[in-house]
Amino acid sequence: MAVYKLKTPISEADIRKLKVNDVLYVTGTIVTARDQAHRRALEYFKEGKPLPLSLEGLAVFHCGPVMSKQGDKWIAVAAGPTTSTRMDIFEDEFIKNFKVRVVIGKGGMGKRTTDAMAKYGAVYGAFTGGAAILAAKAIKNVRTVEWYDLGMPEAMWVFEAEEFGPLTVAIDSHGNNLFTDVQKTVEENKQRIYQKLGLSP
Amino acid sequence: MDTAKIEEVAFNILKQAVIYLPDDVRQALKKAYAEETETGKIQLKAILDNIELAEKSQAPVCQDTGTIIFYVKAGDKAKNLGKVEEALIKATKKATAEVPLRPNAVNPFTGKNSGDNTGRNIPFVNWEITSGSDIEMTVMTKGGGSENVCMGGMLVPGEGIRGLKKFVVDTVIKAGAQPCPPTILGIAIGGGADISMKLAKKTLLKPLTEHNPDPEIAALEKEIYEAANMTGIGPMGLGGKTTVLGVHVDFAFRHPASFPAAVAFNCWASRRASALIKADDTVEYLTRKLKG
């Protein structure tokens, strides 16, 4: 396990150094996107329309934050991760088209995303579910909000963060997926547990 | 007792619940941290840091401030019992605006969020009548991620407790990373499909330091606790030793032909707070003393 501190824009070469179980802190631009923002971004791409900002080398964060406006300035009050599996249907295209290097969320992602990360060079960083204040603390500035018509949780928030993390690299760019590994281990352990409890499978 | 007092106390326990985790949960998380693997430690450290930061900044410990559920133990001689629910609704609206809480009450038909955490049957109030003139109120703010994996089942009576053990282990494994482990398990059997789930959820209010007074049931709690932690799911499902922080088991007598079983999960952010209002309107905060 190694600890990496990377600044956006992150290069493909840097992201390829990371392996599952490594710990990553991201400094720079982190953009939130949930289901709706993913869908709209891919629609824009299909229509040849540019996104409000280039996502190349940035981190995308599965998060519906609680934001508060103080004067004309937005502040992130609570910004924990949401369950990433919902974005599995979009993420491979998203990585391919927009060249994001880090996807941040909780709960892990599936094979489609894992394959895209290997092919185009990206990692999945698991952030602790519920650690909303820890996340908000690392967000030093809210640069802007795009697509606010989608509502506060679904809008695309552009954060400037300092050492956002710890993110556990749970999918690396070499086809490894920590969540899949854990599932395999758990399946093996299940038989031991059944035995211990005197149950037949 | 005065309804304004009931509203004030309900607001205070609601605010306490979302900001401060009970001591027993914190202690269990600290203990787990000491024993965890490297990957597990990173998750638990983030959780422990987050708990401290929430307290310092007086902000909710998790952005999902949950569905609001009250448990009221009302003395049969307490005054204004008919007005308690109204006071609880008012307190919920106030807490949503002022703490603030995330609005989490959505009409299942229209998809419209009420914006203030209230709506038909929400906040839900569980009543219990006792003798005397005091009112004890407890609030649970229940996160959605851990709610989504709760499971009720009608097991085969002939398989008995062994069937229950398998049901629980399979449910924990199926839930995996989803309920934000390490979780707390509330398990109940008997009664009926609804009764077992109600009891399972209610046992989540018990402190982790408290075990079932029946030594046989306490042994079952321990056995399930050890089995769940053998799964290797670990903190946040990233692998590790701590999948559950504790297990509580309760029961009701069952119909000879039925074996209802329920497993209720609470995420690590197990939020609850209680207070006792006496007939003379003096208040005792039971989970955490109220700071001036």
Tens digit of pLDDT at every position of chain B (292 positions): 789 999 999 999 999 999 999 999 999 999 999 999 999 999 999 999 999 999 999 999 998 899 999 999 999 999 999 999 999 999 999 999 999 898 899 999 998 889 999 999 999 999 999 999 999 999 999 998 899 999 999 999 999 999 999 999 999 999 999 999 999 999 999 999 999 999 999 999 999 999 999 999 999 999 999 999 999 999 999 999 999 999 999 999 999 999 999 999 999 999 999 999 999 999 999 999 887 4
**Hey, is the C-beta of A134 within 8 angstroms of any chain B C-beta?**
yes
pLDDT in tens, A101-127: 999 999 999 999 999 999 999 999 999
Question: For the segment A161-193, what is each residue's pLDDT rounded down to a tens digit?
Answer: 999 999 999 999 999 999 999 999 999 999 999
Residues of A in contact with B63 (CB under 8 A): 64-66, 78-80, 130, 132
**Range A93-106 burial, b when 16+ CB lie within 10 A, else e:** bbbebbbbbbbbbb
Q: Whose structure tokens read 């209230």?
A: B118
Q: Where do the domains of chain A lie, and which CATH numbers do they carry? A: 3-196 (3.20.130.10)
Show Cβ contacts of residue A67 under 8 Å, excluding neighbours closer than 6 positions: A74, A75, A76, A77, A142, A145, A152, A157
* Percent of chain A scoring above 90 in pLDDT: 91
Encode pLDDT of A77-88 as tens digits.
Answer: 889 999 999 999
Residues of chain A in contact with residue B176, where contact means CB-CB under 8 angstroms, are 183, 186
> Residue B223 phi/psi, 5° resolution?
-60, -45
Option in A64, A128, A181 nearest B47 (CB): A128
**Residues of A that are catalytic:** 38
CA distance B67 to B123: 7
CA distance A75 to chain B (A): 13
Would the pLDDT of A201 be above 70? no
Q: Are A66 and B100 in contact (CB < 8 Å)?
A: yes
In this complex, the residue of A134, A193, A197 whose CB is nearest that of residue B50 is: A134
Q: What is the least distance, in Å, from the CA of B125 to any CA of chain A?
A: 26
Residues 6+ apart with CB under 8 A from B31: none
**Predicted pLDDT at B292:** 47
pLDDT at A86: 92
Best residue in A124, A128, A137 for a mutation probing chain B (most B CBs within 10 Å) = A128
Helices (H), B111-192: 144-147, 160-175
pLDDT of residue A151: 84
Which residue on chain B is closest to A179 by alpha carbon?
Answer: B238
Report yes or no: A21 at the B interface, CB cutoff 8 Å: yes
pTM as predicted: 0.93
pLDDT of residue B2: 87
What kind and span of H or E run contains B215? helix B215-230
pLDDT for the residue B63: 87
CA distance B193 to A173: 46
What was the ipTM of the complex prediction? 0.91
Contacts of A192 in chain B (CB under 8 A): 230
Q: Do A196 and B230 touch (CB under 8 A)?
A: yes
Query: Are B232 and A186 a contacting pair at CB < 8 A?
Result: yes
